Structure 1
């Protein structure tokens, strides 16, 4: 274990910045600037031993600074600290904590690296070891990219170890017994004679104690909590209605706001007449927020009714008026002037293509809504030059910055309280609801306002998953692909987020959008001639992150193409993929899912299977989908899915997230799409945006593997392979090669 310097209650040096041989490469200087954000708000008798551990006479609180949106991350992060702190999960409380650079997420930086996750070479590992430097400077306190456990695995365990050893040092100073002779157990320091001193009794002394050396982390063989399935810490509150979401915030004198934005997503307000609305009983104000108007009233229903009485003049749309026009614009982007990136260009693709029969195709994916169960909401109060915001946000530091800009005040005058999130899927990485709540608070000085989007407002105005087109040309020989040229085009997620104020830092124009080729360029297939290009359209609808981001459409393009190539090569699709798979953990998940499903045996009459593989967010995942033709349409009966996360911290939660990801992917594949007529979105609620119903959800069989080098998260990797596996199953059942999502446009699903 390399020595990283002094651990103090004011500054916590992050051990994940160290690299082999104990060389820190300047990271210590960056991390030394990080103050413990908990010290400023401590009550008398309370100690913040690290940014993640707070102790007072009443108990122990673990800070879990990632957004809890149903994925169970608060429990997993708390377990990382609790394992080293030597406390049971039922002995602790949890808090999200304030926005702070101390809670940076270095894992998100890696997604933009030019190294595939399967590259464990010296250069790639060196780059990963430096990831925290930009994350700190950009205040990357973000929940996304399935990075939370990847980022937290070392540093939150180390936070628990530092707190444990600090408490032992405090007990040693009190008793005169060397710390080396003390043990810890269940929230107490244990003396050699068996006496237990509770941590809560040592808080004040521990607050004045520093450690000179970095404590060693416990080996996996000594784990008591990690590696085992845990009861979720939020289950009781969610089951009894005590869990607090942004829409639950209630403050004295609170008023309620409802939003109406342009029917042309991303459009602006040219003018409005609110005289009729302001004459309604209970209506306090109608406020221009730039992109629309907010009615403020005594309750949400009155505010929504008031919006119906407002006459708005909207600026004309800046994009094609119908869905076909959007796909025409995307298709037009396939030209050299709009090429954004070429992340893989192996061999000589053109020469190889000219030497064989070319298989080609075009695939399409639509705009998609996030369809969160809780529409966007945020509460805000502006008083005495200070702004308080309560919001379920995936990016608290970005929310603080954007709230400050909207209110015209300094960031240190803004307090962000992150609530639970009623679903997110990338939507709550956007900042529109925070920005608008702040603008309303400025106009309603001294009065707290809870802003609530209607579901119709949320779904029909965006942002959305981009619509995209994927094209490929390929040749096969001797049963395997020998050349692949694949291109994609779509609106730029990163450019859109940057323009709307959702990026942690401005994105220079010369920086390519990594999401365009995500899960294309880095797939572990050994094809000698392989080229991947991404093209960026002119701005169309506002687009942003959606669960699994670019992988959600690109895996559909890529893995349906692989099935077409297997057919052209007269090869079993699993067998062909295994023949060209270059990464051992990836090969293992494909072999595992084939064994789970009994791939070699023919399915029952009237049934068919499809397979797909995706390496996304560092997690190799393989799926096999079995479908059945029924009188009412195609039913998805079974899905087998295997994924390698490196280290399985909580097996039951990993299974749950895989199942969730599969269902989310199947839902989009079967029936979801956003379309336009007259420059307005056609869909507004679940009656015309059909999500997967419970009766449609198949049996999902999971297997978690632990072969790869680095620990990875599982919030998104279950989604990308679902659509291509289903599409490939439909081909096996019907002989129809469906190249456009949703599949339900061409075949009937029950």
Structure 2
């Protein structure tokens, strides 16, 4: 098809979809450039050549608007810009920039559409394009869904190349030398005689030049940074302890605060007695906040101690109070009236069961899981002279601004958010509850900067966890192969719970309920996946790899059961069933890496699992030893297809971190509720993988497709099922419930 024909069809689809959804966006408006927020406060001699490049007399600052919570987001964004702008790595400065619709994430909305990543058809492609339209018009500045690299790969290179062209034009105007004879190197324009004009000295002229609408990007053969090992920009600060997180921030005259709110999320406060707290050493004020009480003191520890002294009469939970009642709600949701989706329905599943001699059945369960980042929720806020400043880490800066406006009553132009680096998130900072509390407290000490910090116990007991889930599965095997697979998954809706707290709505099915299950590329003749929406229980949220985090276990472990029942080899049957070439290649790669099929010896076992999530096919093999004291994890092999590995070192780190995260939670972690309150209050009873338990992890990144994908989450979903399948291979024990330590010990 011609390029013109492609554009015409896409334009029609985008326009039709927008109008059908009730919003006539208009193609013309969509194609208009976004407003550059950096031009609002430029001083003389400064230039903001694109929303991502700011130049002043001290150098170039690259705007990196995707939040960095340890995954290296600032570094990869900077590399994409610096590659095209020709900056020296050691001269790079980064800043998250102001919250702005200019920094919308064009990829994140596409995850909610019911098209698997393997669908490259016309409708699916245009639906994803429409996701970019929605994101742009809504100004969705969001960090999540492993979307930073896919969204930024072209966008930031274009921004850097555009700025470079403006600087070349500025040099041509200043010198009178033809632009075509100029080049750039390490933050300077190079004249034919070798003279170098720094970007800083060209900034005043560049500020008056209209950026070009189209630019050419460097060929991969000329890349200096991308695709090569890079030293992350935050390495020095983190290894020397000088990196400044939100929790480290101090200001002159600052006061300190903490909060205590009802641990039954959404429950009322019937009353409280703060007499002891009000007279405690260092306490300045005790003030009510939504759902509880805030304590303001002259240091954080004293605020913590005073908060502990308050006696509360908490109201009941607005959800079932204990796990038995919650599991009953989940179990009764496998019904027609609770059916949320059925996007996978191949063959004739019912006929396959009716004609089968034997039907295999199983029930699987996964628990609530807390995000539990090392840095608890915190924010510094100052309300002074009608201006509200907030210093915190957030994955949703524009939503955070809206929350602050709602609480304070101030107009948006009077609210200024300064995004900080974060000591972990795993999805927790997609919420705005702690920001709302900090603004409430700032109103009680107007004119004074106040740092609000949650205690670890407050952080654990007021998390919006990953939802509990149950799967009921049936299957048939025939002639040594998997013939039928029927999987039903019941879970509360993450999307409706989370979006509801952001004053948004979910118009259709929640893909998260079945993500990592319905979209797996296996050619099982009779294959069905159904999602059932459980009525709201504990308020839930996105957790690293979201729905796929649990569905990888639910889907792959029962597939493993069927393969063993068929008498087939777990690796060979997965490869045989896999119709998607990139996915098949990662299975073949991990088989080769692990020398699949060789004899490991007595009391040893090897398990394989595969999950395609966030567009990334990922296969993992776990090797274990069954010792007299429990299971020891010896080694893990991981292969993933991301299209292009932009930084091999950080790629390996992210994959390894995802494996450790997935294994540790599968082994040990759950969040349980009694009397409506979480029973786990700190790391001592929510214990991840210990250092001595961590296996060697071998990683291979495949680059055989044209897709550009992120890797922060895809290695998480296969970790739990690969471990469970390895335990079965070593012991013959099939575990269908997480955490695994409820049924087996680890050493």
- Fold conserved between structures, TM > 0.5: yes
Structure 1 equivalent of residue 480 of structure 2: 479
The answer to whether 1:408 aligns with 2:406 is no
The counterpart of 1:710, out of the listed 699, 703, 707, is 707
CA distance in 2, matches of 1:256, 1:397: 25
* 1:121 Cα deviation after fit: 2.1
* 1:293 Cα deviation after fit: 1.2
Q: State which drifts further: 453-462 or 148-157.
A: 453-462
Render the CA deviation track for 1:139-182: whole Å, top value 9, x for unaligned: 21111000000000000000000000010011111122221221
Render the CA deviation track for 1:230-250: whole Å, top value 9, x for unaligned: 001011122233322111121
Structure 2 equivalent of residue 157 of structure 1: 157
The answer to whether 1:590 aligns with 2:587 is yes
Q: State which drifts further: 319-328 or 388-397.
A: 319-328
CA distance in 1, matches of 2:239, 2:665: 28
Structure 2 equivalent of residue 218 of structure 1: 218
Render the CA deviation track for 1:53-77: whole Å, top value 9, x for unaligned: 1111111110111111111111111
**TM-score (normalizing by structure 1):** 0.95
Structure 1 equivalent of residue 493 of structure 2: 492
Which 4+ residue blocks in structure 1 deviate beyond 4 angstroms?
A: 17-28
In the TM superposition, 1:313-392 aligns within 5 A as 313-356=313-356, 357-392=358-393
Structure 2 equivalent of residue 53 of structure 1: 53
Structure 2 equivalent of residue 14 of structure 1: none
- TM-aligned CA distance change 1:437 to 1:31, over 3 Å: farther
The counterpart of 1:577, out of the listed 570, 574, 578, is 574
Render the CA deviation track for 1:286-338: whole Å, top value 9, x for unaligned: 22222221111111111111112222221111222222221111111111111
**TM-score (normalizing by structure 2):** 0.95
- TM-aligned CA distance change 1:27 to 1:479, over 3 Å: farther
CA distance in 1, matches of 2:383, 2:473: 54
Structure 2 equivalent of residue 645 of structure 1: 642
Tell me if the contact between 1:547 and 1:716 (Cα under 8 Å) persists in the aligned partners.
Answer: yes
The answer to whether 1:506 aligns with 2:507 is no
Render the CA deviation track for 1:441-496: whole Å, top value 9, x for unaligned: 12221121111111111112221111110111121223332222111111211121
CA distance in 1, matches of 2:405, 2:133: 25
Q: Secondary structure at the match of 1:731?
A: helix
CA distance in 1, matches of 2:8, 2:613: 26
Q: What stretches of structure 1 of length at least 5 have no aligned partner? A: 5-16
Q: What stretches of structure 2 of length at least 5 have no aligned partner? A: 16-25
* 1:27 Cα deviation after fit: 4.7
* 1:558 Cα deviation after fit: 0.5
Tell me if the contact between 1:27 and 1:130 (Cα under 8 Å) persists in the aligned partners.
Answer: no
Structure 2 equivalent of residue 440 of structure 1: 441
CA distance in 1, matches of 2:733, 2:317: 37
Render the CA deviation track for 1:98-141: whole Å, top value 9, x for unaligned: 10000001110110122111122222222323332111222211
CA distance in 2, matches of 1:195, 1:278: 68
Tell me if the contact between 2:163 and 2:211 (Cα under 8 Å) persists in the aligned partners.
Answer: no
CA distance in 1, matches of 2:725, 2:70: 30
* 1:211 Cα deviation after fit: 3.6
CA distance in 1, matches of 2:677, 2:123: 48
Structure 1 equivalent of residue 133 of structure 2: 133
Q: Secondary structure at the match of 2:711?
A: coil
Q: Secondary structure at the match of 2:683?
A: coil
Tell me if the contact between 1:18 and 1:24 (Cα under 8 Å) persists in the aligned partners.
Answer: no
In the TM superposition, 1:178-189 aligns within 5 A as 178-189=178-189
The counterpart of 1:634, out of the listed 615, 625, 631, is 631
The answer to whether 1:604 aligns with 2:636 is no
- TM-aligned CA distance change 1:335 to 1:598, over 3 Å: same
* 1:528 Cα deviation after fit: 2.7
CA distance in 1, matches of 2:441, 2:3: 50
Q: Secondary structure at the match of 1:130?
A: helix
Tell me if the contact between 2:44 and 2:204 (Cα under 8 Å) persists in the aligned partners.
Answer: no
Task: Please tell me the root mean square deviation across aligned C-alpha atoms, in Å.
Answer: 2.0
Structure 1 equivalent of residue 619 of structure 2: 622
CA distance in 2, matches of 1:170, 1:217: 19
Structure 2 equivalent of residue 683 of structure 1: 680
Q: State which drifts further: 327-336 or 119-128.
A: 119-128
Structure 2 equivalent of residue 265 of structure 1: 265
Structure 1 equivalent of residue 104 of structure 2: 104
Render the CA deviation track for 1:186-219: whole Å, top value 9, x for unaligned: 1111122222211111111111112444111111
The answer to whether 1:91 aligns with 2:54 is no
Structure 2 equivalent of residue 568 of structure 1: 565
Render the CA deviation track for 1:482-529: whole Å, top value 9, x for unaligned: 22211111121112112322xxx6114x42211101111111111232
CA distance in 2, matches of 1:212, 1:558: 49
The answer to whether 1:534 aligns with 2:535 is no
* 1:22 Cα deviation after fit: 14
CA distance in 2, matches of 1:651, 1:386: 44
